[in-house]
Amino acid sequence: MCLPAQNPEETIEPMMLYMGKLAREAAGELALASTDAKNGALGRMAAALEAGAEKILMANSQDIEAAKKKGRDAAFLDRLRLDASRVAAMATGLREIAKLPDPVGDTISSWTRPNGLEISRVRVPLGVIGMIYESRPNVTSDASGLCLKSGNAVILRSGSESFLTSLVISNILTEAITASGLPAAAIQLVPSVDRSAVGFMLGGLGGAIDVIVPRGGKSLVERVQEDARVSVFAHLEGVCHVYVDKGADLDMARDIVVNAKMRRTGICGAAETLLVDRTIASTSLVPLVDALIEAGCEVRGDDETQSADARVKPATDEDWATEYLAPIMSVKLVDGLDEAVAHIEHYGSQHTDAIVTNDQDVARAFLARVDSAIVLHNASTQFADGGEFGMGAEIGIATGRFHARGPVGLEQLTTSKYVVRGTGQTRP
Amino acid sequence: MCLPAQNPEETIEPMMLYMGKLAREAAGELALASTDAKNGALGRMAAALEAGAEKILMANSQDIEAAKKKGRDAAFLDRLRLDASRVAAMATGLREIAKLPDPVGDTISSWTRPNGLEISRVRVPLGVIGMIYESRPNVTSDASGLCLKSGNAVILRSGSESFLTSLVISNILTEAITASGLPAAAIQLVPSVDRSAVGFMLGGLGGAIDVIVPRGGKSLVERVQEDARVSVFAHLEGVCHVYVDKGADLDMARDIVVNAKMRRTGICGAAETLLVDRTIASTSLVPLVDALIEAGCEVRGDDETQSADARVKPATDEDWATEYLAPIMSVKLVDGLDEAVAHIEHYGSQHTDAIVTNDQDVARAFLARVDSAIVLHNASTQFADGGEFGMGAEIGIATGRFHARGPVGLEQLTTSKYVVRGTGQTRP
């Protein structure tokens, strides 16, 4: 006798819907959990990760083996790999989150109306977060900690390559959470690597998911932004610019440009394009290009930049729109602020852009006119990071205009409600 | 020779995309417009409406004639009808908006990092608002004023029945805006009543529209929420509750219940369901039901409420989920706070819910546990209104969890960006 062939989607959909239901119930409990209860759980979670390090590393080595067999490259394996210090860092991360102020219950503003009504706007959790990520297994722990502290339930969808590691981590965390008296479904890992699970999450699981946070490559984020039927906190890419104005101090400009590009080339806040005011081309272009090349950066430039240094390769139109995430920078001369702003508007990604100048008026105009989540004056674009902003950990960076713009930390994982206290007022 | 038959969608789509492009350009200018320039334009707009009242009323009488021929009912005609005092009210509304503080450029928070970076979070306009509305022609003016003051461009899509009135109003407003030196495309009325225009707006016009605000009946809002590919500020309905707890003062409860239901039955903050604590049924149920019926309200109740007063009609399960927008109220006894909260969670619409009690602990629990945009203690649900909150005019009320929750006023029509000022900082 044969069993009927089974379509995985048919078994996955009811499971996903059930996870959504559990998450929604857990969110109801978490929304009312005290700060102490949440911090206690975070402490237990950290200790449990440390105690379970050996199990985590065993699972991780299996994931690594499988990824090697699939021919994944060194960068991928590095993102996937855990060691004792990386597990310890995950635990430390949770303890840091415990130390951050609890946003839930915060009064954002309050006022009294002439009729005596006391109105306050109070932070409450968003509800249920859907986290879809790829190879970094530490996201399991980081996202769980941030969601728990902000009173949200989270449904985690780990990439298939890090699935075993994520599974062991999430089991350890769930055990610690239940031991703390908080609901087990506060964090749930989708127990399947079938791709249809992502589709169901993007559909919102029948209203159970409030927001999707994708963490991974451009193709993942693109798919999420295309297909999600619920809100998304994400940035597709960071084509970040540094504009060196004629009023810039050359030494400062050189330091900022090299740091913005080369400190770490693989992060979204790394600069990709250098715009130089044509007025100072004769004095500044050669030193800036030279500093980049000396630092190990390939420079692709417009005609004038190519003329300035023989090592500069030609930039195509595609270069201006490219997030290299690599030691490559495109360089272009522009006719002052107007052309710089127009270039950023046309080719940028509304992520992070910087100006270097000592002219305060030009700086003010740049900061006002460039329509990006983060704009900087005389500082490196690599500061585009929740930690560097002093917000504690971040679950991602958003370039959308709604709700969360820039680093997404605890505060951005909340919404608000209006609480109105009266003494019997009726409306005339 | 025949002209080829023309599909209206083929001519409407390029027009809509072009309007989107113009709106986006206008939004860039408006974002940088000074408060004085915007307030000056609002003043001119108000004066122009007053000066053009005759033209507006002529167009309106044509709309009214056409609607009568279509057999529209009295309530519809009342929403559609303008008279001299309603035109004057539109002008007054614009002058009130001019008096409200300008949210653009406001610093929401600012702090200095240990490395000296000064970080501030500054309000900027959302961009382009798509307003889709039905029969009330005053929305043309109200929405234009709010969007302009908050630095946003708006694309207005009037219902077909109010189209002529809206067209005359928008032409008058556009003339006043250009005379003030602001871009003509700050407000644009879709010059077609073809339904496909709505579909194109919901698609976002190739990224030109940032948010859609629907104003009208449930079927319009439902369609927008279903089909929009961009953010939406809306509430589908307001199934609002008043819970009278055992700790309530009976006189206060009676005043609040009657006001919440009967002051105006057609607004979203009108209460639809009364929940009464079973413990006080013997003393409070009859007076509350009697007060409602005396005020002209039909009462539909559960078995116990029917037993208490012979005039009470039976409530079906559907009643608990119904927004009557009429002098009808459903009444149910509940076993204290827990059942009240559970009922509201199950049947409510996360809009506005109130408790009447003098027990501060029960009130606190209700305000925390009921997950609605607005929760009230000892006050009528009819206060759910941006004006009553002291926010000035509102463009609508949102029950979504993102960005705007509750009344949507000037502040909610903005987003923010991070402005970082340094002195040459690079990231270690």
pLDDT at B174: 98
Give every CB contact of residue A271 below 8 A, 6+ residues apart in sequence.
A240, A241, A242, A257, A260, A261, A329, A354, A380, A381, A382
Is B371 in contact with A425 (Cβ distance < 8 A)? no
Give every CB contact of residue B294 below 8 A, 6+ residues apart in sequence.
none
Of the candidates A245, A267, A292, A265, which has an alpha carbon nearest to the alpha carbon of residue A394? Answer: A267
What residue in A sits closest to B363 (Cα-Cα)?
A: A421
In this predicted model, what pLDDT tens digit does every residue of B117-176 receive, in sequence order? 999 999 999 999 999 999 889 999 999 999 999 999 999 999 999 999 999 999 999 999
Is A417 in contact with B126 (Cβ distance < 8 A)? no
B236 alpha-carbon distance from chain centroid: 10
pLDDT at A5: 52
| Structure-token pair, residue A5 | 């062939």
Q: What is the CA radius of gyration of chain B?
A: 24
Task: Give yes or no for a contact between B422 and A379, defined as CB atoms under 8 angstroms apart.
Answer: yes
In this predicted model, what pLDDT tens digit does every residue of B315-371 receive, in sequence order? 999 999 999 999 999 999 999 999 999 999 999 999 999 999 999 999 999 999 999
Q: Which neighbouring-strand residues pair with B273?
A: B241, B330
CA distance B92 to B114: 49
Task: Give yes or no for a contact between B168 and B175, defined as CB atoms under 8 angstroms apart.
Answer: no
| Structure-token pair, residue B25 | 């350009």
CA distance B162 to B77: 10
Is B401 in contact with A126 (Cβ distance < 8 A)? yes
Task: Give yes or no for a contact between A273 and A330, defined as CB atoms under 8 angstroms apart.
Answer: yes
In this complex, the residue of A378, A389, A415 whose CB is nearest that of residue B424 is A378
What residue in B sits closest to A345 (Cα-Cα)?
A: B28
Partners of B350 on chain A (C-beta within 8 Å) are none
CA distance A279 to B314: 82
Is A420 in contact with B374 (Cβ distance < 8 A)? yes
The shortest C-alpha distance from B359 to chain A (Å) reads 12
A contact test, residue of B24, B416, B426 with most A CBs within 10 A: B426
Give every CB contact of residue B172 below 8 A, 6+ residues apart in sequence.
B45, B48, B49, B52, B55, B56
CA distance B407 to B418: 25
Determine how many CB atoms are found less than 10 A away from the CB of residue B377. Answer: 22
Task: Give yes or no for a contact between A273 and A395, defined as CB atoms under 8 angstroms apart.
Answer: no
In this complex, the residue of A113, A368, A415 whose CB is nearest that of residue B390 is A113
In this complex, the residue of B210, B371, B419 whose CB is nearest that of residue A401 is B210
Question: How big is the CA angle at A310 (ends A306 and A311), to the nearest 5 degrees?
Answer: 95
Is B426 in contact with A119 (Cβ distance < 8 A)? no
Query: One fold for both A11-233+407-419 and A240-388?
Result: no
In this complex, the residue of B32, B127, B402 whose CB is nearest that of residue A368 is B32
CA distance B367 to B369: 6
Reported for B302-311, long-range contacts at CB under 8 A and 24+ positions apart, including other chains, are B302/B331, B302/B332, B302/B333, B304/B278, B304/B333, B305/B331, B305/B332, B305/B333, B308/B281
Partners of B383 on chain A (C-beta within 8 Å) are 117, 420, 425, 427
| Structure-token pair, residue A212 | 């999707």
In this predicted model, what pLDDT tens digit does every residue of B18-67 receive, in sequence order? 999 999 999 999 999 999 999 999 999 999 999 999 999 999 999 999 99
Consecutive H or E run containing B56: helix B53-69
What residue in B sits closest to A382 (Cα-Cα)?
A: B427
Is A379 in contact with B421 (Cβ distance < 8 A)? yes
Give every CB contact of residue A252 below 8 A, 6+ residues apart in sequence.
A356, A378, B424
Handedness of CA A199, A203, A209, A214 (dihedral sign): positive
pLDDT at B195: 87
Q: What percentage of chain B carries pLDDT values higher than 90?
A: 92
pLDDT at A8: 66
For chain A, helix (H) and strand (E) counts, in that order, are 15, 17
pLDDT at A2: 47
Query: Where exactly are the structural domains of chain B?
Result: 13-233+407-419, 240-388
Question: How big is the CA angle at B181 (ends B175 and B187), to the nearest 5 degrees?
Answer: 50
Is B372 in contact with A256 (Cβ distance < 8 A)? no
DSSP conformation letters of A349-373: -SSEEEEE-S-HHHHHHHHHH--SS
Distances (CA, A) of B42 to A140, B145, B158: 51, 7, 21
Of the candidates A393, A385, A344, which has an alpha carbon nearest to the alpha carbon of residue A368? Answer: A344
Consecutive H or E run containing A333: strand A328-334
Is B119 in contact with A390 (Cβ distance < 8 A)? yes
Fold exhibited by the domain B13-233+407-419: Aldehyde Dehydrogenase; Chain A, domain 1 (3.40.605)
pLDDT at B8: 66
CA distance A372 to B393: 29
The shortest C-alpha distance from A167 to chain B (Å) reads 30
Is B255 in contact with A111 (Cβ distance < 8 A)? no
CA distance A173 to A181: 13
**CATH code 3.40.605.10 for A11-233+407-419:** yes
The shortest C-alpha distance from B5 to chain A (Å) reads 34
Helix/strand/coil for B142: helix
Helix/strand/coil for B249: coil
In this complex, the residue of A111, A127, A426 whose CB is nearest that of residue B390 is A111
Is B402 in contact with A415 (Cβ distance < 8 A)? yes
Q: Helix B35-51 vs helix B53-69: angle between axes, to the nearest 10 degrees?
A: 70
Is B420 in contact with A113 (Cβ distance < 8 A)? no
Partners of A419 on chain B (C-beta within 8 Å) are 367, 375-377
What residue in B sits closest to A27 (Cα-Cα)?
A: B371
pLDDT at A1: 43
Q: Is the pLDDT of residue B5 over 60?
A: no
Q: Which neighbouring-strand residues pair with B167?
A: none
The shortest C-alpha distance from A155 to chain B (Å) reads 18
Of the candidates B398, B423, B80, B382, which has an alpha carbon nearest to the alpha carbon of residue B237? Answer: B398
Q: Give the total residue count for chain A.
A: 428
Partners of B353 on chain A (C-beta within 8 Å) are none
**HSE toward the beta carbon, residue B253, CA cutoff 13 A:** 27
Is the ipTM value over 0.90, yes or no?
A: yes
Determine how many CB atoms are found less than 10 A away from the CB of residue A368. Answer: 17
Fold exhibited by the domain B240-388: Aldehyde Dehydrogenase; Chain A, domain 2 (3.40.309)
How many CB pairs (< 8 A) connect A and B? 171
| Structure-token pair, residue B99 | 């008096």
The shortest C-alpha distance from A405 to chain B (Å) reads 7
pTM confidence score: 0.93
For every one of its 428 residues, what pLDDT tens digit does chain A have, with 9 covering 90 and above?
A: 444 555 667 789 999 999 999 999 999 999 999 999 999 999 999 999 999 999 999 999 999 999 999 999 998 899 999 999 999 999 999 999 999 999 999 999 999 999 999 999 999 999 999 999 998 899 999 999 999 999 999 999 999 999 999 999 999 999 999 999 999 999 999 998 888 999 999 999 999 999 999 998 899 999 999 999 899 999 999 999 999 999 999 999 999 999 999 999 999 999 999 999 999 999 999 999 999 999 999 999 999 999 999 999 999 999 999 999 999 999 999 999 999 999 999 999 999 999 999 999 999 999 999 999 999 999 999 999 998 998 888 899 999 999 999 999 999 999 999 999 999 999 99
